[in-house]
Amino acid sequence: MDKLAIIGGRPLYGTIPISGAKNSALKVMAAALLTDEKLTLTNVPRLADVDMLMRLLEQHGTTTEFDGSTLSLHAKTISSTEAPYDLVRKMRASFNVLGPLLAREGKAKVSLPGGCAIGARPVDLHLKMLTAMGAKIELDEGYVFAEAPDGLHGADIAFPFVSVGATEHTMLAATLAKGETTIENAAREPEIADLADCLNAMGAKITGAGRSTITIEGVDRLHGAEHAVLPDRIETGAYIMAVGATGGELTLTGTRSDLLGAAWSVLEEIGLYVEDLDNGLRVKRNGERYKAVDIITQPFPGFPTDLQAQFMALMATADGVSKIKETIFENRFMHAPELSRMGAKISVDGQTATVRGVERLKGAPVMATDLRASMSLVIAGLAAEGQTMVNRVYHLDRGFERLEEKLQACGALIERVKE
């Protein structure tokens, strides 16, 4: 199992190209199942999760070709409507093939999903949505058996709470449904609008993406298209926080400030200088110690839960006390004990963590527990005195493209150690 060895205490200077968003790429890839024509996606990151979903799509009969950051997908015929446990268990996003298979073929057998250990994240909303659209759903031995022999029909769907996954799944399924589907209390994340842009380029009729009400007018068929995946806002925020922790100055190319939502103002509030450029952002920190700030994770445009762990690593050496409240997922403070091994002063009470900033962290062996927690340990290691050894870096390979290479180019002493 690979590890990352980091010698900290060096500021970061240089340019980092921001990759396409993993959380968007996976959903637009699933859209390939909705048409018998080719879907070409550009700005696709080379990640373990992308590779896993490619294998699942190939299981359904999709031909794939990955050249650089361009991914071509062609599901001319669906050879299988079953998504087996071995291909679905490692990644929740795999579950979103259920709606497209059901919409196109009238049936599907899909394993219940797995993924990072940061809470239950049940699929109840997904199944209720499909039931409202006319599907017959049965659960048996860890699989969802779904049928809609006469096709799906439009429905009025009101989610009891905001769910990115359920919003995206509804959009995918409703494109080929008969009639109009309305989603109330829809998620507003940038990835929602990106999926709508891709589906509309394929001939779908979706309005309202990015707002709390989305309307999908079903069409008879979708066609091929080309779509560029939007920049990864979580990678963007993580590298901004890395500069905050280490000092220095970075130019982040191919990204935008509007993708960060409330995180943008929080990063400015703590004392970082972040500037919009024509094709990216510039971030720098002077030699002064930045100040502690409180945050509450919320659906977009609030502070994203996927940046909470990285922000905690940043607050570990801030001037003052920070309170971090997690409202999206339970069990998402598992990185706190690992940061404490490096000298951070963190106490957790339920869904609130209190971080008392120290002047410096010290390198230590630590263990990653999930994707975003892994990056928090990298940020802490970059700022710490001495060597940090981050174990279980396979989590990082799921969501951060060429991490070591990008950081090495900016002066970081980081390398992958193979066992």
- Annotated ligand binding at 328? The verdict is yes
Predicted pLDDT of residue 87: 84
- Annotated ligand binding at 55? The verdict is no
For residue 301, is the peptide bond before it cis, meaning its omega torsion is within 30 degrees of 0?
yes
Name the residue among 271, 272, 269, 275 with its Cα closest to residue 255.
275
Query: How far does the chain reach from its first CA to its final CA, in angstroms?
Result: 6
Name the residue among 128, 82, 133 with its Cα closest to residue 108.
82
User: 59: which 2 tokens?
Assistant: 């299981």
- Annotated ligand binding at 122? The verdict is yes
Predicted pLDDT of residue 332: 82
Burial class (CB in 10 A: 0-12, 13-18, 19+), 350: exposed
Structural domains present in the chain: 3-18+231-417 (3.65.10.10), 22-228 (3.65.10.10)
- Annotated ligand binding at 123? The verdict is yes
Predicted pLDDT of residue 118: 36
Predicted pLDDT of residue 291: 93
Predicted pLDDT of residue 401: 96
Q: What is the mean pLDDT of each run of 10 residues along the chain (419 residues)?
A: 93 98 96 98 96 96 97 98 87 89 96 57 86 95 92 96 95 98 98 98 98 98 98 97 96 96 94 93 88 96 96 97 92 91 97 96 94 93 97 90 97 92
Report strand pairing: 225-228 vs 38-42.
parallel
Predicted pLDDT of residue 120: 45
- Annotated ligand binding at 390? The verdict is no
Predicted pLDDT of residue 44: 98
Catalytic residue, chosen from 18, 44, 53, 116, is: 116
Identify whether 198 is a catalytic site residue: no
Whole-model pTM: value is 0.95
User: 141: which 2 tokens?
Assistant: 């031995």
Alpha helices in 106-222 (DSSP H): 124-132, 164-174, 190-201
Name the residue among 159, 158, 169, 211 with its Cα closest to residue 189.
211
> Rounded CA gap, 262 and 281, in Å?
16
Predicted pLDDT of residue 114: 58
